[in-house]
A and B are shown apart, each in its own frame.
Chain A
Amino acid sequence: GEDVEQSLFLSVREGDSSVINCTYTDSSSTYLYWYKQEPGAGLQLLTYIFSNMDMKQDQRLTVLLNKKDKHLSLRIADTQTGDSAIYFCAEFPNTGGFKTIFGAGTRLFVKA
């Protein structure tokens, strides 16, 4: 079935690293994504990783992919108060359904 699971809340101190975890179910997924949603806004694509990669780094963001366990993580280094938002993990199954499946979102709280 189609399901993306992630924990609902994460609280960190400013300057610490944040790690948001996600599991997905469809092994055919070619692309896996992280989106960020700030209050009153739509979702913003942060980064994505191809299924044939293990890791991708983009400035303060590091994405790790474990295909065997269908586990995806997003690490934010030196977390800032401006990083407080909801982070969504998403997969795009390569089954011709033309839809991206989103997790429920992890609300990140950054304490000053």
Chain B
Amino acid sequence: KAGVTQTPRYLIKTRGQQVTLSCSPISGHRSVSWYQQTPGQGLQFLFEYFSETQRNKGNFPGRFSGRQFSNSRSEMNVSTLELGDSALYLCASSSPSVSGGDGYTFGSGTRLTVV
């Protein structure tokens, strides 16, 4: 079965612009989580969605937002980009209604570079 698909793989944006990243989970997975990975901070939790509802949000400014569609696909948006937003953004899907359990399946990530 197809894995978690993230698009695009690479992005270069200018400070002040906005960006939208997309994630298609494994078929049948209804929970989608987003993480930001940087060398200095490791993996930082952004948000988790289940059945189009955001169930938890990490400690990120309001410039970071997301949503989930009825087919479980998810998008995250970052507005007014800053240099510090340069990172690998990882999407993960999981099967049970309570995320965790048998763990996440991660996508390959979107590498965002802000110049």
Residues of chain A touching chain B, judged by Cβ–Cβ distance below 8 Å, are 30-31, 33, 35, 40-45, 48, 88, 92, 97-105
B42 touches A98 (CB 8 A): no
> How distant is the Cα of A99 from the Cα of B92 in the complex, in angstroms?
11
> How distant is the Cα of A27 from the Cα of B56 in the complex, in angstroms?
20
B104 touches A98 (CB 8 A): no
Q: Which of B14-22, B61-69, B94-102 contacts A (4 or more CB under 8 A)?
A: B94-102
> How distant is the Cα of A68 from the Cα of B31 in the complex, in angstroms?
31
B43 touches A42 (CB 8 A): no
Known contacts A31-B100, A42-B90, A105-B42: A100-B108 contact under CB 8 Å: no
Closest residue on chain A to residue B106 by CB atoms: A42
CB-CB under 8 A from A105, the residues of chain B are 42-43
Q: Digit string of B14-38 for contact with A (CB within 8 Å is 1, else 0)?
A: 0000000000000000010101000
Known contacts A98-B56, A105-B42: A48-B107 contact under CB 8 Å: no
B104 touches A100 (CB 8 A): yes
